[in-house]
Amino acid sequence: MADDEARVRVRVLQWIVNTRNLFPEATETKHLETVAAPYLALLPPPDRASALKYLFPRDAKLSLASSLLKRHAISVTASPTLPWSAITPTRDAQGKPVFVSADGSSPVSFNVSHQDGLVALFGVAGCPADVGVDVVSCTERQVRDREAVRAGGWPAFVDVYESVYSTGEMAYLKSLDGRGLGIDQKLRYFYALWCLKEAYVKMTGEALLADWLLSLEFRNFHPPAPVAAPMAGGDLSLGEVVREIEVFRDGKRDAAVRMELRSLGAGYMVGVAVRTPERVADAFDLDLGDFEFVTLEEIRERAEGNP
């Protein structure tokens, strides 16, 4: 930060909600109206309806947790503290979730991602910042992807994504074929690149359809090692963090963006991206640490303590 006092005021949020084992009795989405009623009650009617519109309970739980986590981020960073009922996230011109106070300021910049039962939030408060996060499951589509690689070969599998990956990234992925790696190892590189791309693009507020997407290139990347312990029993241990990530736009190093890629258990990775437009160095002064697991009950306690 610009000085020690500013550094103290800055807060980084790195949160994960694990919804996989929530409300096991809800075999249909409509059951959540009863078993998840105390948590749904913390949301305004439109957000409740948004969560309950999903066919499968797993998707409804992700939506519920995402809505609550965004409000929780605003609740813990707003100064003065806002009543829970006054917290109304909106979207900016690019569709990115934001919160704007009555005075026009935003107490926190945040981004949310969810996949395969996990919801991740990355945020920065007290310092103007653009942030992006992506959580990727290496197991959710692994069986299908293995079959595709076995059927057509690794290069053909990579070719399917030529509209997303740059020429250099495509060549790098295809080069894995000559390194003696197994299918799952090569797929882990693939998922790592996807996670990095998503986090960066979400930081900008755009989508994977951005017209500059193919000019974005990650070079010499590698996935963090999976946590050695199996995920049986719900293990989500925090694992290796990859910090040396080379980002290029139009062939030039994008030195203004800080990125990290972390393994989570044996089957997940979480990528974050941050830049601080007012002072580039601030992004690299941020204290990026471990992700913290947050429960819906913790969110509920805070909300009900300041309704």
- Taking 50 as the threshold, does the pLDDT of residue 162 lie above it? yes
104 in the same domain as 204: no
Q: Round the average pLDDT of the chain to a whole number and report it.
A: 92
Spatial separation of the C-alpha atoms in residues 262 and 121, rounded to whole Å? 14
pLDDT tens-digit series, residues 80-131: 888 999 998 888 877 788 888 877 778 899 999 999 999 999 999 999 999 9
Cis peptide bond prior to 226, omega within 30° of 0: no
Are residues 284 and 124 in contact, defined by beta-carbon separation less than 8 angstroms? no
Which residue from 49, 43, 100 is spatially nearest to 72, judged by alpha carbons?
43
- Taking 70 as the threshold, does the pLDDT of residue 3 lie above it? no
179 in the same domain as 262: yes
Give the contacts of 211 (CB within 8 A, at least 6 positions apart). none
114 in the same domain as 57: yes
Which residue from 109, 115, 157 is spatially nearest to 135, judged by alpha carbons?
115
Confidence of residue 5 (pLDDT cuts 50, 70, 90): very low
Residue 160 Rama label (left phi>0; alpha psi -120 to 50; beta): alpha
Tokens of 160: 């399917």
Per the structure, the count of domains in the chain is 2
pTM given for the model: 0.93
pLDDT tens-digit series, residues 214-257: 999 999 999 999 998 654 445 788 999 999 999 999 999 999 99
214 in the same domain as 134: yes
229 in the same domain as 118: no
251 vs 79: which has the higher pLDDT: 251
Tokens of 155: 């290069």
200 in the same domain as 149: yes
105 in the same domain as 20: yes
As a whole number, mean pLDDT of residues 15-41 equals: 98
Amino acid (one-letter) located at 188: R
- Taking 70 as the threshold, does the pLDDT of residue 4 lie above it? no
Q: What is the pLDDT of residue 89?
A: 85
134 in the same domain as 99: no
Question: C-alpha distances in angstroms, 245 versus 149, 173, 217, 223, 286?
Answer: 27, 16, 11, 10, 16
51 in the same domain as 150: no
102 in the same domain as 1: yes
As a whole number, mean pLDDT of residues 48-54 equals: 97
- Taking 50 as the threshold, does the pLDDT of residue 8 lie above it? no
Least confident of 9-18, 46-55, 201-210: 201-210
HEC sequence for the chain: CCCHHHHHHCEEEEEEEECCCCCCCCCCHHHHHHHCHHHHCCCCHHHHHHHHCCCCHHHHHHHHHHHHHHHHHHHHHCCCCCCHHHCCCEECCCCCEECCCCCCCCCEEEEEEEECCEEEEEEEECCCCEEEEEEEECCCCHHHHHHHHHHHCHHHHHHCCCCCCCHHHHHHHHHHHHCCCCHHHHHHHHHHHHHHHHHHHHHHCCCCCCCCHHHEEEECCCCCCCCCCCCCCCCCCEEEEECCCEEEECCEECCCCEEEEEEECCCEEEEEEEECCCCCHHHHHCCCCCCEECCHHHHHHHHHHCC
Which residue from 243, 154, 277, 166 is spatially nearest to 212, judged by alpha carbons?
166
Give the contacts of 293 (CB within 8 A, at least 6 positions apart). 15, 16, 17, 18, 236
Which structural domain range is residue 6 located in? 1-127+284-307
Strand partners, 135: 270
37 in the same domain as 91: yes
> Percent of the chain at pLDDT above 90?
81
Least confident of 1-5, 67-71, 252-256, 285-289: 1-5
45 in the same domain as 149: no
Q: What is the pLDDT of residue 258?
A: 98
pLDDT tens-digit series, residues 191-216: 999 999 999 999 998 877 788 999 99
- Taking 60 as the threshold, does the pLDDT of residue 1 lie above it? no
Burial 92-123 (b: 16+ CB within 10 A, else e): eeeebbbbeeeeeebbbbbbbbbbbbbbbbbb
- Taking 70 as the threshold, does the pLDDT of residue 2 lie above it? no
Q: Read off the CATH number of the domain in which 59 is found.
A: 3.90.470.20
